[in-house]
């Protein structure tokens, strides 16, 4: 690894931050942003004001859209710097609560009620492109004209994504935990067993990286990283309790909150073509109920990391065992992992490849050289496949 290439820090002006800001990022759940509400959001160490206009006549043509437009502006009012999200929404505009300056969706100041000679025309705060899609609010935080928002047609029937609370760890630790079969196997026997896996393979694709966990010629588990920070994978086993038939397929965006915290945005769909959607929705609803009832995986993970609980004590599947394992394995690597102390082996092929891809792209960005133009494959499917060909994708679990 090139020590000069830093993919850990993502604040404004950093190399990795500049790279990630060239791609649309999810920043909120559509359903959690009510009409007329303003909220503070923090992404890659930057704070913003997210708000939705009051009920309006603009039904969104986008899957998952709510019908009134969300807007994203700078965090602070341009007058004396009060946090703008503490103000209130008027129509499609937002007014600062302190002295009442009002801003439009493009950040242009429109009213300065206490000024005898208003100078609104000279005042504009930054605004950012926002789109709603598959139940998520996406924002483009980079410079210039944004690229078109990547589409995932297989997931467009899904409107109920899950957003994970921020975990105290750098995002890249989670990003390089790509359907980590070797870790899951020995603890959670409901997933692929470690002893069964003969080989982990990884290769670069048009959209990022493909990982294969090979047990036999006709038993290959496939997972993807779509550059820069999206996982696509299939979990075998049935929501809610992973004890029955069925499986689900996930898109997972891993987004830095700051350099020591990340959150994930997870959109799932039924992975089997022969699975009735009614059955799938039933199991999803039951799974959501279980999640609401049980102790948060983050709390259990902290208990284990502090030595007050053992992983082996977490045996009840309704406790979301795999998420607890994720928490312990990922947060246990410290807030910003020390990669200089690592010793990678053959099982880490996809980790090494992902780092090398990131390193290459960041080096190109640093030297103003052309970047690889990643393509989103419309019909990519993750999961088990009957052949080790990335083109065939998944036939289900
Ligand atoms: S600080 Fe916002 S109007 Fe004064």
Which has more confidence, 122 or 301? 122
Question: Which atom of ligand 1 is closest in space to residue 101's alpha carbon?
Answer: 3
Asked whether the predicted pLDDT for residue 58 surpasses 70, the reply is no
Contact 24, 150 (CB under 8 A): yes
Contact 395, 382 (CB under 8 A): no
Q: Give the pLDDT of residue 360.
A: 97
Q: Give the pLDDT of residue 393.
A: 35
Contact 155, 234 (CB under 8 A): no
The helix/strand/coil state of 170 is coil
Closest CA to 327 of 158, 141, 187: 187
pLDDT digits (tens, 9 = 90+) for 324-341: 888 888 888 877 777 777
Indicate the range of 21-25, 122-126, 283-287 predicted with least confidence: 283-287
Indicate the range of 122-131, 348-357, 365-374 predicted with least confidence: 348-357
Neighbours of 142 (CB within 10 A): 19
Element (H, E) at 20: helix 15-20
Span 147-173, mean pLDDT?
Answer: 88
Span 258-278, mean pLDDT?
Answer: 78
Nearest-CA residue for ligand 1 atom 1 is: 80
pTM confidence score? 0.86
Asked whether the predicted pLDDT for residue 280 surpasses 70, the reply is no
Q: Is 96 in the pocket of ligand 1 (CB under 6 A)?
A: yes
Q: Is 97 in the pocket of ligand 1 (CB under 6 A)?
A: no
Q: Is 385 left (phi over 0), alpha (psi -120 to 50) or beta?
A: beta
pLDDT digits (tens, 9 = 90+) for 5-45: 899 999 999 999 999 999 999 999 998 999 999 999 999 99
Q: Is 80 in the pocket of ligand 1 (CB under 6 A)?
A: yes
Q: Can you give the length of the chain in residues?
A: 397
Q: Is 101 in the pocket of ligand 1 (CB under 6 A)?
A: yes
Q: Give the pLDDT of residue 3.
A: 61
- Determine whether domain 153-385 maps to CATH 3.40.50: no
Asked whether the predicted pLDDT for residue 187 surpasses 50, the reply is no
Q: Give the pLDDT of residue 284.
A: 66
**pLDDT bracket for residue 186 (50, 70, 90):** very low
Closest CA to 269 of 283, 286, 255: 283
| Mutate which of 82, 88, 111 for ligand 1 pocket (most atoms within 8 A of beta carbon) | 82
Q: What angle do CA 62, 63, 67 make, to 5 degrees?
A: 60
Asked whether the predicted pLDDT for residue 244 surpasses 60, the reply is no
Asked whether the predicted pLDDT for residue 200 surpasses 60, the reply is yes
User: What CATH number was assigned to the domain covering residues 25-139?
Assistant: 2.102.10.10
Q: Is 151 in the pocket of ligand 1 (CB under 6 A)?
A: no
The residue extents of the domains of the chain are 25-139, 153-385
Asked whether the predicted pLDDT for residue 389 surpasses 50, the reply is no
| Mutate which of 75, 87, 99 for ligand 1 pocket (most atoms within 8 A of beta carbon) | 99
Q: Is 109 in the pocket of ligand 1 (CB under 6 A)?
A: no
Q: What is the mean pLDDT of the chain?
A: 81
Dihedrals phi, psi of 176, to nearest 5 degrees: -90, 5
What is the CA(292)–ligand 1 centre distance, in A?
40
Q: Is 99 in the pocket of ligand 1 (CB under 6 A)?
A: yes
Q: Is 77 in the pocket of ligand 1 (CB under 6 A)?
A: yes
> Strand 383-385 vs strand 219-226: parallel, antiparallel, or unpaired?
antiparallel
Dihedrals phi, psi of 189, to nearest 5 degrees: -75, -10
What is the CA(173)–ligand 1 centre distance, in A?
40
Q: Give the pLDDT of residue 90.
A: 95
The helix/strand/coil state of 155 is helix
Nearest-CA residue for ligand 1 atom 3 is: 99
Q: Give the pLDDT of residue 329.
A: 86
Contact 302, 314 (CB under 8 A): no
Question: Which atom of ligand 1 is closest in space to residue 77's alpha carbon?
Answer: 2
Residues near 162 by beta carbon (within 8 Å), at least 6 away in sequence: 265, 266, 268
How far apart are alpha carbons 85 and 98 in whole angstroms? Answer: 11
Indicate the range of 174-178, 273-277, 391-395 predicted with least confidence: 391-395
Nearest-CA residue for ligand 1 atom 4 is: 99
Asked whether the predicted pLDDT for residue 368 surpasses 70, the reply is yes
Q: Give the pLDDT of residue 292.
A: 60
**pLDDT bracket for residue 228 (50, 70, 90):** very high
The DSSP symbol for 150 reads: P
Dihedrals phi, psi of 62, to nearest 5 degrees: -95, 140
What is the CA(338)–ligand 1 centre distance, in A?
43
Which has more confidence, 254 or 55? 254
Dihedrals phi, psi of 247, to nearest 5 degrees: -160, 170
Q: Give the pLDDT of residue 261.
A: 96
Only one residue has tokens 């990519």, namely: 380
Asked whether the predicted pLDDT for residue 194 surpasses 70, the reply is no
**pLDDT bracket for residue 392 (50, 70, 90):** very low
| Mutate which of 74, 75, 77 for ligand 1 pocket (most atoms within 8 A of beta carbon) | 77
Question: Which atom of ligand 1 is closest in space to residue 100's alpha carbon?
Answer: 3
Question: Which atom of ligand 1 is closest in space to residue 80's alpha carbon?
Answer: 1
What is the CA(71)–ligand 1 centre distance, in A?
19
Dihedrals phi, psi of 118, to nearest 5 degrees: -55, 145
Copy the structure tokens of residue 152: 């995932």
Closest CA to 172 of 377, 15, 47, 323: 15
How far apart are alpha carbons 271 and 250 in whole angstroms? Answer: 9
Span 103-127, mean pLDDT?
Answer: 97
How far apart are alpha carbons 382 and 61 in whole angstroms? Answer: 28
**pLDDT bracket for residue 181 (50, 70, 90):** low
Q: Give the pLDDT of residue 340.
A: 75
Asked whether the predicted pLDDT for residue 159 surpasses 80, the reply is no
Which has more confidence, 294 or 363? 363
List the beta strands (DSSP E) in the chain: 25-29, 38-43, 46-52, 70-74, 88-90, 93-95, 102-103, 109-111, 127-128, 130-133, 136-139, 162-163, 199-204, 208-216, 219-226, 230-236, 247-258, 261-270, 383-385
Q: Is 76 in the pocket of ligand 1 (CB under 6 A)?
A: no
| Mutate which of 98, 102, 107 for ligand 1 pocket (most atoms within 8 A of beta carbon) | 98
Question: Which atom of ligand 1 is closest in space to residue 99's alpha carbon?
Answer: 3
Q: Give the pLDDT of residue 289.
A: 63
Span 59-67, mean pLDDT?
Answer: 56
């Amino acid at each position: 690894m090139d020590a000069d290439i830093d993919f850990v820090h993502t604040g404004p002006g950093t190399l990795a931050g500049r790279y990630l800001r060239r791609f649309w990022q999810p920043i909120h759940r559509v359903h959690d942003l009510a009409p007329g509400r303003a909220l503070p959001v923090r992404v890659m160490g930057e704070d913003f004001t997210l708000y939705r206009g009051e009920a309006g006549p603009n039904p969104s043509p986008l899957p998952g859209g709510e019908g009134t437009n969300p807007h994203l502006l700078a965090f602070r009012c341009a007058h004396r710097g009060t946090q703008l999200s503490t103000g209130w929404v008027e129509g499609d505009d937002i007014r600062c609560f302190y002295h009442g300056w009002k801003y439009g969706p493009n950040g242009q100041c429109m009213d300065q009620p206490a000024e005898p000679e208003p100078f609104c025309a000279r005042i504009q705060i930054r605004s950012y492109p926002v789109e709603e899609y598959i139940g998520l609010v996406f924002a483009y935080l980079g410079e210039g004209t944004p690229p078109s928002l990547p589409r995932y047609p297989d997931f467009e029937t899904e409107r109920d994504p899950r957003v994970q609370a921020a975990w105290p760890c750098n995002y890249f630790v989670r990003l390089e935990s790509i359907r980590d079969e070797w870790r899951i196997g020995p603890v959670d026997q409901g997933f692929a067993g470690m002893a069964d896996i003969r080989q982990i393979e990884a290769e670069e694709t048009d959209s990022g990286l493909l990982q294969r966990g090979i047990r036999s010629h006709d038993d290959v588990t496939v997972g993807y990283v779509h550059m820069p920070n999206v996982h696509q994978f299939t979990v075998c086993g049935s929501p809610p309790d992973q004890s029955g038939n069925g499986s689900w397929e996930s898109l997972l965006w891993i987004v830095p909150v700051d350099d020591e915290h990340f959150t994930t945005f997870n959109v799932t769909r039924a992975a089997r073509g022969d699975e009735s959607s009614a059955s799938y929705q039933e199991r999803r609803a039951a799974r959501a109920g279980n999640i609401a009832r049980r102790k948060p995986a983050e709390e259990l993970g902290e208990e284990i990391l502090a030595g007050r609980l053992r992983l082996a004590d977490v045996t009840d599947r309704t406790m979301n065992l795999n998420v607890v394992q994720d928490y312990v394995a990922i947060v246990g690597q410290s807030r910003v992992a020390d990669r200089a102390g690592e010793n990678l082996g053959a099982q880490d092929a996809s980790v090494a490849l992902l780092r090398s891809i990131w390193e290459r792209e960041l080096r190109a960005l640093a030297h103003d050289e052309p970047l690889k133009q990643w393509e989103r494959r419309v019909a990519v499917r993750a999961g088990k496949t009957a052949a080790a060909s990335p083109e065939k994708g998944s036939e289900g679990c």
